[in-house]
Amino acid sequence: MATTKKTSRAKKTVARSSRARTQVMPEPQAMNATPAAPVAQAAPAMNNILVIVLIILAFFAGYFYFKAQNLEKGAAAGGTKQAQQQPAAPTNLKIKKPSTDEHWRGNKDARIVMVEYSDLECPFCKRIHPDLVKLYNDNGGKVAWVFRHFPLSFHPKAQKSAESTECVTKELGNDGFWKMTDAIYEKMPTIELADLPATAASVGANEGTVKQCIDAGDTASVVKADQDEGTKIGVQATPTTVFYDTKTGKSQTVEGAVPYDQLKQVLDTMLKG
């Protein structure tokens, strides 16, 4: 009987041990499984964070891209932007009446004067330049053209390019100004500041004299006077072209490198007025 009781106790002990093992053995599995749940949950969370970060980066990339476009189509000193190829600005600028003492091109008795506020490095100014030349040539003595400097601060070649045209003017007069302006637009954007004196020589000026004038900044005040006037009246973009009727004093402002047909339409309308 003693033996039987011992055997029975042994069986019960073994049974408890087996249950204990049965209960204990899964515990490591449970312990191993427990960290897996947060990892599984962390993966989507990390993905969500990554998506949010990418959205934020995309937003700022888009913001700076379009800002760059508006300022490489963008802002000049004082928040002025370089114009996009968009239709005319809705507000007409009250500009200073154009004078033959300025950089005047064409008939001095022309009724309509195109007053252009421009930056010699501006790609949109370069784009519209041939159209303004064509409009001027196609309309004989009916339209004249006045150029006013408006160099944008973020264009490193604009200021000195403008000064160089004034340096040439000092030597060759108004005709020299227009020849130098045409030459710079033709060579932009590859022309460098160091090339300006040679470009001046190609239109008939003395290379050394022009170089000295540019280096000394002798004509910087002339350029600044134009830009100050443009800023004062509210020029917001380059190119900005104001068609001014010398007979009535009325004007029509066109902002940007608009197509030739649109320029012609504005001119034709004003000639009929």
Domain ranges of the chain: 2-61, 103-272
Q: What is the mean pLDDT of residues 126-146?
A: 95
Query: Does residue 252 surpass a pLDDT of 60?
Result: yes
pLDDT given at position 228: 97
Q: What is the mean pLDDT of residues 68-73?
A: 43
Query: Which CATH number does 103-272 carry?
Result: 3.40.30.10
- Over residues 4-34, the pLDDT tens digits come to 444 444 333 333 333 333 333 344 444 444 4
Q: Which of 48-52, 128-132, 151-155, 161-165 has the lowest mean pLDDT?
A: 48-52
Query: Does residue 2 surpass a pLDDT of 50?
Result: no
pLDDT given at position 88: 44
pLDDT given at position 14: 34
Please give the residue that has the higher pLDDT: either 33 or 261: 261
Residues 6+ apart with CB under 8 A from 167: 200, 205, 209, 210, 213, 214, 218, 219
Measured CA to CA, the distance from residue 184 to residue 168 in angstroms comes to 12
Q: Which residue has the tokens 């959205």?
A: 55
pLDDT given at position 273: 78
- Over residues 34-56, the pLDDT tens digits come to 444 444 455 566 666 766 767 77
Mean pLDDT of the chain: 80
Query: Does residue 132 surpass a pLDDT of 60?
Result: yes
Q: How confident is the model at residue 85 (pLDDT cuts 50, 70, 90)?
A: very low
Q: Which of 78-82, 112-116, 219-223, 233-237 has the lowest mean pLDDT?
A: 78-82
Query: Does residue 245 surpass a pLDDT of 50?
Result: yes
pTM: 0.70
Query: Does residue 271 surpass a pLDDT of 60?
Result: yes
Please give the residue that has the higher pLDDT: either 72 or 235: 235
One-letter amino acid of 157: K
Query: Does residue 266 surpass a pLDDT of 50?
Result: yes
Three-state secondary structure readout of the chain: CHHHHHHHHHHHHHHHHHHHHHHHCHHHHHHHHHHHHHHHHHHHHHHHHHHHHHHHHHHHHHHHHHHHHHHHCCCECCCECCCCCCCCCCCCCCCCCCCCCCEEECCCCCCEEEEEEECCCCHHHHHHHHHHHHHHHHCHHHEEEEEEECCCCCCCCHHHHHHHHHHHHHHHHHHHHHHHHHHHHHHCCCCCHHHHHHHHHHCCCCHHHHHHHHHHCCCHHHHHHHHHHHHHHCCCCCCEEEEEECCCCCEEEEECCCCHHHHHHHHHHHHHC
